Structure 1
Amino acid sequence: MAGKVVKGDLDSRIFNFINMSLLLIFTFIIIIPIWNVLVSSFSSGRSLAEGGFVFWPQEFSMENYRAVFRDETIWQAFFISVAKTVIGAGTHVLFCAMVAYAYSKQNLRGRKLYSALGIITLFFSGGMIPTYLLIKSLGLLNSFWVYIIPALFSFFDVIILMNFFRNVPKSLEDSAKIDGAGDWRIFWSIYLPLSKPALATIALFNGVGQWNDFITTKLYVTDQALYPLQMKIYEIIVQSQTNTMQNIGGSVVIETTARGVQLATIVITTLPIILIYPLLQRHFISGMMLGAVKE
């Protein structure tokens, strides 16, 4: 018996060692490229021209970031990106949650028909040209709301929230109805608070999509005042040349290469998401119904 215990303990240690070794390898595979991008963005154009992996900047320089922020319209683009990300993610989550709440009710009339229509949207779309004509007919061209209204609904997110709502104890809803609460009060006071992990996950994924999206601007927006940060970054990279880059004012930025500007823009656009993610992470691991009625 003792020999079996010792053998089992040895197998467990071997497994933990191999598991931790693999996790460390994968961690380094992820961290090293990110570190290289971050460090290279602070390197001068001369050191970047030499090529190769950069573990630490040989010539520290802020010219790459100055080249990006020298364009005064970059702050307007940053505001547009933040606004469309916050408003877009918030309205998307709220709209999908309302639809999912209705779908979670077995007594919803036409529920099978609505589900079939929603499933079709997961596999088929109208195409680029019909979508453009629809956006134009709705008067959303060159409008801030082109970032918000078309992105309100996602049947995939509705399915996730619908299954989450079905796990809410029926006794909570029954007790609320006894106290005179209607569907709106039950939705706001019971279902949404108990569904924070699902809501936070969908908000994070949709927010990242909104923040990184520039194809919507490319297709539907020509007014530069409505350009988000991603579109301005795209313009800056296009304007950059191999060895030097000229900013909007026409002055030459010394020792700034196209690669350096690209690396700086990657850091600028990624940093907000990295800062926001830890704020939402706690909802992923939190209990769904702490203190609720158990059935």
Structure 2
Amino acid sequence: MNRKAIKGDLDSRIFNAFNIAVLLIVSLVIMIPLWNVIISSLSSGRALAEGGFIFWSKEFSLENYRAVFRDSSIWQAFFISVSKTTLGVITHVFFCAMVGYALSKKHLRGRKLYVVMGVITMFFSGGMIPTYLLIKSLGLLNSFWVYIIPALFSYYDVVILMNFFRNVPDALEESAKIDGAGEWRVFLKIFIPLSMPAMATIALFNGVGQWNDFMTTKLYITDQALYPLQMKLYEVIVQSQTQSMQNIGSVMIETTTKGVQLATIVITTLPIVLMYPLLQRYFISGMMLGAVKE
């Protein structure tokens, strides 16, 4: 083995070791606070008040979670969050796919105008007050559909799908049309199945956004029956009460607002964290779309 090969192998090992060290540090910076939140949420109020622990609690208790689930509105909020995220993701992805499919066709009349209009929406918006007046004029205030209709369209997602549709061989579409398939059948039977990686990537990003969104509720919803989990979390965090004492039978169990906050954070975060592994393989391949050109 010559000197260049030895030097190249040494450089490669140093580079890999550097990458591993950096990624390990970044992982620890991310994981340690998360672990501390989980452990703190499982700690008693007395242990939280004393503090002084990072990796393991001095006294474990499920009272923080019992306090959260004793509030019956948390289940309604969970149902609203799941409903708006599921329906919002499905409608958003399907609507963006329809627009992207149409704009991927060069023979579409007015295509350039539609593209310019879409690009404008990526850089400019009407602002908070005009948007509120629009939502009000559409009758969407205090309506579940305020979570769905305004979030239907994103030109950024349309661009991703449009570029993916352009890479589908024209022969597939032509052969389907020769067999008598119309535009809808071509779109649903050919383009949708072939674009699952891109659509799963968009669904993941949009789902996280839908699940974490509470500003829509803050601006447009006053009916507490339509509050999602994130709004309930917001209410818990802004509570001024610092400590509460609860009697269960003959045993006095202490909980703090901080403990209830942390338990609520874990409850609201867990579903979206569990969803990521299910879409991971689609997410990775979707992010690689267009990265390699042959």
TM-score, normalization by structure 2: 0.91
CA–CA separation in structure 2 for the residues paired with 1:8 and 1:55:
41
After superposition, give the CA deviation of every residue in 1:106-132 in whole Å (9 maximum; x if it has no partner): 011111111111111111111111111
Matched with 1:145 is 145
Matched with 1:292 is none
The Cα of 1:11 is off from its aligned counterpart by 2.4
Matched with 1:134 is 134
Matched with 1:233 is 233
CA–CA separation in structure 1 for the residues paired with 2:138 and 2:280:
37
For structure 1, the residue ranges without an aligned partner over 5 or more in a row are: 247-252, 289-294
After superposition, give the CA deviation of every residue in 1:170-197 in whole Å (9 maximum; x if it has no partner): 1111111111111111111111111111
The Cα of 1:81 is off from its aligned counterpart by 0.5
Q: Partner letter of residue 275 of structure 2?
A: I
CA–CA separation in structure 2 for the residues paired with 1:64 and 1:118:
47
Matched with 1:19 is 19
The Cα of 1:282 is off from its aligned counterpart by 1.5
Q: Confirm or deny: 8 A CA contact 1:244 1:254 kept in the other structure.
A: no
CA–CA separation in structure 2 for the residues paired with 1:3 and 1:135:
70
Tell me the secondary structure at the aligned position of residue 211 of structure 2.
Answer: helix
2:279 maps to 1:280: yes
TM-score, normalization by structure 1: 0.90
Tell me the secondary structure at the aligned position of residue 255 of structure 1.
Answer: strand
Matched with 2:258 is 259
Tell me the secondary structure at the aligned position of residue 255 of structure 2.
Answer: coil
Matched with 2:249 is none
Q: Partner letter of residue 266 of structure 2?
A: V
The Cα of 1:215 is off from its aligned counterpart by 1.1
Identity %: 77
CA–CA separation in structure 2 for the residues paired with 1:50 and 1:94:
51
* Inter-CA distance 184–52: structure 2 relative to 1 (3 Å threshold): same
Tell me the secondary structure at the aligned position of residue 244 of structure 1.
Answer: strand
After superposition, give the CA deviation of every residue in 1:33-67 in whole Å (9 maximum; x if it has no partner): 11111111111122212334421111001111112
After superposition, give the CA deviation of every residue in 1:227-251 in whole Å (9 maximum; x if it has no partner): 11111222233335222278xxxxx
* Inter-CA distance 115–261: structure 2 relative to 1 (3 Å threshold): same
1:179-194, aligned counterparts within 5 Å?
A: 179-194=179-194
* Inter-CA distance 145–59: structure 2 relative to 1 (3 Å threshold): same
Q: Partner letter of residue 66 of structure 2?
A: R
The Cα of 1:211 is off from its aligned counterpart by 0.7
C-alpha RMSD of matched pairs (Å): 1.9
Q: Partner letter of residue 113 of structure 1?
A: L
CA–CA separation in structure 2 for the residues paired with 1:238 and 1:13:
50
CA–CA separation in structure 2 for the residues paired with 1:229 and 1:209:
13
Matched with 1:4 is 4
Q: Confirm or deny: 8 A CA contact 1:245 1:258 kept in the other structure.
A: no
Q: Partner letter of residue 284 of structure 1?
A: F
CA–CA separation in structure 2 for the residues paired with 1:231 and 1:275:
21
CA–CA separation in structure 1 for the residues paired with 2:127 and 2:2:
68
1:1-295, aligned counterparts within 5 Å?
A: 2-239=2-239, 241-244=241-244, 254-286=253-285
The number of aligned residues is 283
CA–CA separation in structure 2 for the residues paired with 1:287 and 1:280:
10
Deviates most, 91-100 or 43-52: 43-52
The Cα of 1:286 is off from its aligned counterpart by 4.8
CA–CA separation in structure 2 for the residues paired with 1:212 and 1:122:
21
Tell me the secondary structure at the aligned position of residue 168 of structure 2.
Answer: coil
Q: Partner letter of residue 112 of structure 2?
A: K
The Cα of 1:14 is off from its aligned counterpart by 2.1
* Inter-CA distance 111–39: structure 2 relative to 1 (3 Å threshold): same
Q: Partner letter of residue 258 of structure 1?
A: T
